[in-house]
Amino acid sequence: MAVMFLINFFINNYKGYIMKNIFTYLLIVFVLSATFVFAQEAAFNTGKLGVYVGEYGRIRMFTPDTGGVKQIERISVLVGMNKESVFDYQNDADVEVATSLNTSPTKSDFEINGTFNNAYSSAPPNILEKLTVMGWNDGGYAILKFIITSNEVEPFNAICGLDIVPILDGEYGLDTVTYDATNNIIRSHRGATNVGYKLLSEPLVSLKSIEWFSGYEVDTNYWNWLNAGSIEPQYVSTTADGPVIITSHAPKQVAKRGTITFYYAVAIGANQVEMLANMNEAQSKYKLITDVEENNSVVKNFSLHQNYPNPFNPSTIIKYELPEEGFVQLKIFNLLGQEVATLIDEQQKAGTYNYHFSTGNLNLSAGIYFYTLNAGYFSETKKMILLK
């Protein structure tokens, strides 16, 4: 039983779409291996939907749970800077903060979090993707929250979207992608099964589907598809490879340390009616989530939070809050009081900030360090511990 469980888990979670023709080989390697190490991944089951998030931010979905039938091979984020610089899962993503299941979520019954950088390629755009996937008991839907933070020195117009690879009822190909203009929902369907995707936080401006082909994940391709500039009413897959769906919303200028936040809902149904009902529930949850966030968005006091994780290696998040616009400095000091890094030295607007501090280029030894926030009349220092 244990062996069968592991084999089923492997089939459902490690069969990448780029490996379609070598899957048998991989399975043999897996079975012959004495041990199999699971990486930093997380999953939850709502009772109607299984959600899995991989080490580098790949989202997969199953019915009725992660041991069941795969419906989505991959959902991953795209952030375009120019035709030669698009952040994507396949070529750029690496781990900043490991994927993990939040055991005490406050906005949903289930929650997975992870933060990903561009360290795999070190190619622009230099961004951080903070991903949150939320689910609810007995819900056939999930809400995806993306926070994109720019680490580029200069502001740029970021065009954000998703790269979606469906695998309806566990099979690729010959499915249809239809845009439901009445409900603003993208539908993947073949036979009765329906999977819906909806951009919740703003209007969808571009929808482009292509037939999957090996090596499609090229920046120039992504840039062209993100900038298709129209919503394709319908796409019919004609091969066993199946479609790839590329979505995007209007470009937004993002400054250094600036953020872009957007939400998608994904709903699955045994038919279109059930999918639409699940999507309606997801939209109701989204309204509750964003109402809570908006109510909490007004910052009344200066505040510097304890970094998380702490101790850390090699990166951690430093959160601080500014009730008013002003000049801000965030600096790191060693035990001797010597400054080892200046993280922030600029004018910032009122709001909540999350600085992703990485020691990768600083050559710091393990030990105790201090971080100090100076903003207007406010100054506070906290201790953090670097492990090696």
How does pLDDT run across 347-378, given as a tens digit for each residue? 888 888 888 788 876 889 999 999 999 999 99
User: Are 144 and 194 in the same domain?
Assistant: yes
Residues forming a β-bridge with 304: 320
User: Are 1 and 126 in the same domain?
Assistant: no
Mean model confidence pLDDT for the chain = 89
Whether residue 10 has pLDDT greater than 70: no
Whether residue 194 has pLDDT greater than 50: yes
User: Are 25 and 149 in the same domain?
Assistant: no
Q: What is d(CA 368, CA 100) in angstroms, rounded to the nearest whole number?
A: 26
Give per-residue pLDDT as tens, 145-178: 999 999 999 999 999 999 999 999 999 999 999 9
User: Are 325 and 290 in the same domain?
Assistant: no
Q: Which of 295, 324, 354 is the last residue of a domain?
A: 295
Q: Which residue has the tokens 């929902």?
A: 185
The tokens describing 155, both together, are 């502001």
Q: Which residues contact 128 (CB under 8 A, 6 or more apart)?
A: 96, 115, 116, 117, 148, 149, 151, 356
User: Are 62 and 188 in the same domain?
Assistant: yes
Q: Domain range holding 265?
A: 39-295
pLDDT for position 294? 60
User: Are 149 and 256 in the same domain?
Assistant: yes
User: Are 264 and 330 in the same domain?
Assistant: no
Check if the beta carbon of residue 58 is closer than 8 Å to that of residue 89. yes
Q: What are the C-alpha distances in Å from 297 to residues 138, 227, 353?
A: 30, 32, 11
User: Are 286 and 260 in the same domain?
Assistant: yes
Q: How many domains does the chain have?
A: 3
Whether residue 125 has pLDDT greater than 50: yes
Whether residue 34 has pLDDT greater than 60: no
Q: Which residues contact 100 (CB under 8 A, 6 or more apart)?
A: 40, 42, 112, 113, 114
User: Are 53 and 74 in the same domain?
Assistant: yes
User: Are 131 and 66 in the same domain?
Assistant: yes
User: Are 45 and 150 in the same domain?
Assistant: yes
User: Are 62 and 83 in the same domain?
Assistant: yes
